[in-house]
Amino acid sequence: MDQHKAIISILIGLLLSLNILFANNVNDYAPLWQIIVFSLFIIFIILYMNQKLEKRIQKTIKTLEEQNYKLQESVDNFKNLFDTTLEMIVIFKMDGEIIDINQPGVKLSGYTNKTEIIGKNIEEFIFNNDIEKVKKAMQKDISEPYELTMLNKYGKKIYTLRSGRNIIRDGKKLRMSSIVDLTEIKQKDELIQQQSKLALMGEMISMIAHQWRQPLNIIGAINMKVETKLDFEETITAQYYEHVSEGINKQLSYMSKTIDDFRDFFKPSTGKENTNFNKLINSVFSIVRTSIINKNIKIITQLDCDENFDTYASELTQVILSIIKNAQDVLLDKNIKKPYIKLKTYIEKDKYILKIYDNGGGIPDHIINKIFDPYFSTKTEKHGTGLGLYMSKTIIEEHCGGKLTVSNNKDGAVFKILLKR
Q: What whole-number distance in Å separates Cα of residue 16 and Cα of residue 11?
A: 9
The secondary structure of residue 269, as a DSSP letter, is: P
Highest mean pLDDT among 1-15, 21-35, 227-241 belongs to 227-241
The predicted pLDDT at position 377 comes to: 58
The secondary structure of residue 123, as a DSSP letter, is: G
Fold assignment, 187-420: Heat Shock Protein 90 (3.30.565)
CATH of 86-181, one of 3.30.450.20, 3.20.20.190, 3.40.50.620, 3.30.540.10: 3.30.450.20
Percent of the chain with pLDDT over 70: 72
Q: What whole-number distance in Å separates Cα of residue 9 and Cα of residue 410?
A: 101
More confident residue, 86 or 144: 144
Query: How many Cβ atoms from other residues are within 10 Å of residue 404's Cβ?
Result: 20
What mean pLDDT is predicted for residues 362-385? Answer: 68
- Whole-number mean pLDDT of the chain? 79
Q: What is the pLDDT of residues 90-113, one digit of tens each?
A: 889 999 999 888 888 888 888 988
Least confident of 24-38, 58-72, 359-373: 24-38
pLDDT tier for residue 382 given thresholds of 50, 70 and 90: very low
The predicted pLDDT at position 184 comes to: 80
Q: What whole-number distance in Å separates Cα of residue 53 and Cα of residue 6?
A: 15
Highest mean pLDDT among 17-21, 36-40, 76-80, 342-346 belongs to 342-346
What mean pLDDT is predicted for residues 72-99? Answer: 72
Is the predicted pLDDT of residue 46 greater than 70, yes or no?
Answer: no
**String of DSSP letters for 296-359:** T-EEEEEE-----EEE-HHHHHHHHHHHHHHHHHHHHHTT-SS-EEEEEEEEETTEEEEEEEE-
pLDDT tier for residue 257 given thresholds of 50, 70 and 90: confident
Domain segments of the chain as ranges: 2-82, 86-181, 187-420
The predicted pLDDT at position 384 comes to: 46
The predicted pLDDT at position 380 comes to: 44
Least confident of 264-273, 308-317, 341-350, 352-361: 264-273
Q: Say how many CA atoms lie within 13 Å of 154 toward its Cβ.
A: 6
**String of DSSP letters for 204-263:** HHHHHHHHHHHHHHHHHHHHHHHHHHHHTT----HHHHHHHHHHHHHHHHHHHHHHHHHH
Residue 91, classed as helix, strand or coil, is: strand
pLDDT tier for residue 317 given thresholds of 50, 70 and 90: confident
Least confident of 90-94, 144-148, 287-291: 287-291
More confident residue, 237 or 47: 237
Q: What is the pLDDT of residues 167-205, one digit of tens each?
A: 888 888 999 888 888 888 777 766 766 666 666 666 667
Q: What is the maximum span of the chain, computed from C-alpha positions, in angstroms? A: 174
What mean pLDDT is predicted for residues 298-326? Answer: 89
What is the CA 125 to chain-centroid distance, rounded? 21
pLDDT tier for residue 381 given thresholds of 50, 70 and 90: very low
CATH topology identical between 86-181 and 187-420: no
292 within 8 A of 327, measured Cβ to Cβ:
no
Q: What whole-number distance in Å separates Cα of residue 289 and Cα of residue 41?
A: 111
Is the predicted pLDDT of residue 155 greater than 70, yes or no?
Answer: yes
Could you tell me which residues come within 8 angstroms of residue 250 by beta carbon, excluding any fewer than 6 positions away? Answer: none
What mean pLDDT is predicted for residues 286-312? Answer: 87
Highest mean pLDDT among 7-11, 143-147, 202-206 belongs to 143-147
Please report, to the nearest 10 degrees, the dihedral formed by the alpha carbons of residues 277, 282, 283, 285 taken in order.
Answer: 130
Is the predicted pLDDT of residue 142 greater than 80, yes or no?
Answer: yes
Is the predicted pLDDT of residue 60 greater than 90, yes or no?
Answer: no
The predicted pLDDT at position 88 comes to: 85
Is the predicted pLDDT of residue 405 greater than 60, yes or no?
Answer: yes
More confident residue, 370 or 254: 370
